[in-house]
Amino acid sequence: MGAAYFYHLTRRPLEETLPVLLGRSLDAGWRVVVRGQDAARMDWLDQKLWLGPDEGFLPHGLAGGPHDADQPILLTTDADTPNAPACLMTVDGAEVAADEVQRLERVCILFNGDDPAAVDVARRQWKSLTDAGCSAQYWSEESGRWEKKAEK
């Protein structure tokens, strides 16, 4: 049974934080699905991942191609996970179900701490997932480094 990790982004934007988490997931040997809500935003993330970071390449693809099942990192707006991931990362308030948290090694929910609507969505997701019996951790970078602030 996995756990949901909530990442409250306040110092670094998504395009800086996501590659770090993706790199760590690949280092752990995990395939990853990154789920968003907007196709244009996923295209934007795709471009950001192709451009950096300077110290490494993150092999990935946008869902809808002929090789989705082979992608180590798959960007999508869909609930389908054709690349058999061990980790799901959601951005921009994308939905995550309790059974996904329980089935996968890890679910990472990244949300913009400067957006009150995003914070509200993350709070609702925390409540929904923990009420369903999922293990959850809340991580904040408020101090300048990531610190675990809550666990349930």
Q: pLDDT tens for residues 98-117?
A: 999 999 999 999 999 999 99
pTM of the prediction?
Answer: 0.94
Domain ranges of the chain: 3-151
Share of the chain above pLDDT 90, in %: 88
CATH 3.40.50.10110 assigned to 3-151: yes
Among 15, 4, 35, which Cα is nearest to 124's? Answer: 4
Beta-carbon contacts of 80 under 8 Å, excluding residues fewer than 6 positions away, are 63
* Helix (H) / strand (E) containing 121: helix 116-131
Q: pLDDT tens for residues 122-139?
A: 999 999 999 999 999 999
Q: pLDDT tens for residues 26-70?
A: 999 999 999 999 999 999 999 888 876 565 678 999 999 999 999
Confidence of residue 72 (pLDDT cuts 50, 70, 90): very high
d(CA 42, CA 61): 10
